[in-house]
Amino acid sequence: MHRYELVSNPGLRLIVCWHPLGSVPNVDSTCCKRLGILWQVLPEYAWFMQLRAGRRQRESTGLSGAEEAEIETIRKHKQELLDDIRKLKEEIAEVFAEIECFQHAEEKQVADSNPGEQISKLSQRDKILSVGRKKFNMDPEKGIQYLIEHQVLSSDLQEIARFLHKGEGLNKTAIGDYLGGRDPTNIQILQAFVACHQFANLNLVQALRQFLWSFRLPGEAQKIDRMMEAFANWYCKCNPGMFQSTDTCYVLSFSIIMLNTSLHNPNVKDKPHFERFVSINRGIDNGGDLPEELLKNLFESIKNEPFSIPEDDGNDLTHTFFNPNREGWLLKLGGRVKTWKRRWFILTDNCLYYFEYTTDKEPLGIIPLENLSVQKVNDPKKPNCFELFNPNCKGQKIKACKTDGDGKVVEGKHQSYKISAATPAERDEWIEAIRTSITQDPFYDLVSARKKKIASKN
């Protein structure tokens, strides 16, 4: 193993351990290649250090305007390089953790005075399982396939469902995305996964708490529909006679989820009362009403204790921004004195986030897209512009938030957002992606469709 240390900047100490390809068992070439990326930035960093040394010499004798401009360029370049290095350090740490896992398993095996064949097999299985979990968190389909190919999992759908239900080291968002897939195999695994839950003698809120804790509900309406359909079928099977049909359970489950949001979301000013909850659930039990006492118990349970959102296990790579609908650099018009500033935009979960740098953990601003529209606009000073606006409330501020100079979160003051892309093609792609994302809450559409189905039966 070779060890390198970078101490060009006293404020930055970066140590890299380089394992020659093949010297660490079971580490594929990708790991080593990713480590090698670091060396691409070092020559540039050395160049920067030379320029900075020259700048310090000039500062002792005074600087011209051109030299000041050059220094400002160097400072910006320095920040970009430091951001790149920070990102690479995080990536290297992830790879080293994987290598350390392999080495630990082997050291444990060697330390045993009588390892035997069985211990060797268990150690190898632990390595494969660790890698498989990481792969699943990055791409669920590939992770499951990897575990099957290495015989840690069989292709038996019940076994896969139990593996997901146990969830050890698995990302809850990745589990939800996988279970919501429309492939017949995914649907069968979903049904087996739901059957891993014990819902007998639980009221609907208790069952929903258990179910929604085992994964994170995806945002796509069709995935939500399949998952809640499977839940309703299994709940009714575990509690026969509770409802006249599974459609009743389906609609009431959505009503409870929406009630939870309305009661506990601080942005919802008008909190629903029990009478409202009763009203929206009239006639859902094959045309009849559910017992008021049942609805009262469900309402009070949610009012007193909101649903808990599961924390992600395994490699939580900030999944809110990990798999976006679209991301890229755009120019945004803003500020008290209107100026164009370059921002990194991420479109995901029906929101548009913008950051100063791609490596930032927290966004500078968040624009919820609900009730907004997007259109092309012409600007004499900037090409390829588009605009976000509220078609129903022109002249009013868009509901959004941003961070001020002190880092405090404040309400946005835009009546519209004007944004510029690099090319006409990029502008059109962003407009299309935003239009696709601007949708009503899928819960309301799903409940409405199911209520119509119930009404048509009577």
Indicate if 44 belongs to the active site. no
Are 350 and 439 contacting, i.e. CB atoms less than 8 angstroms apart?
A: yes
- 94, 141, 159, 220: which one is catalytic? 220
Cα separation, 256 vs 233, whole angstroms = 17
Q: To the nearest 10°, report the CA torsion of 174, 176, 182, 185.
A: 80
Cα separation, 284 vs 134, whole angstroms = 43
Are 405 and 389 contacting, i.e. CB atoms less than 8 angstroms apart?
A: no
What kind and span of H or E run contains 454? helix 442-456
What kind and span of H or E run contains 376? strand 373-377
Are 15 and 96 contacting, i.e. CB atoms less than 8 angstroms apart?
A: no
Cα separation, 68 vs 62, whole angstroms = 10
Are 286 and 245 contacting, i.e. CB atoms less than 8 angstroms apart?
A: yes
Q: Which residues contact 296 (CB under 8 A, 6 or more apart)?
A: 274
Backbone torsions φ then ψ of 332, nearest 5 degrees: -120, 135
Are 454 and 284 contacting, i.e. CB atoms less than 8 angstroms apart?
A: yes
Are 411 and 400 contacting, i.e. CB atoms less than 8 angstroms apart?
A: yes
Q: Which residues are annotated as catalytic?
A: 220
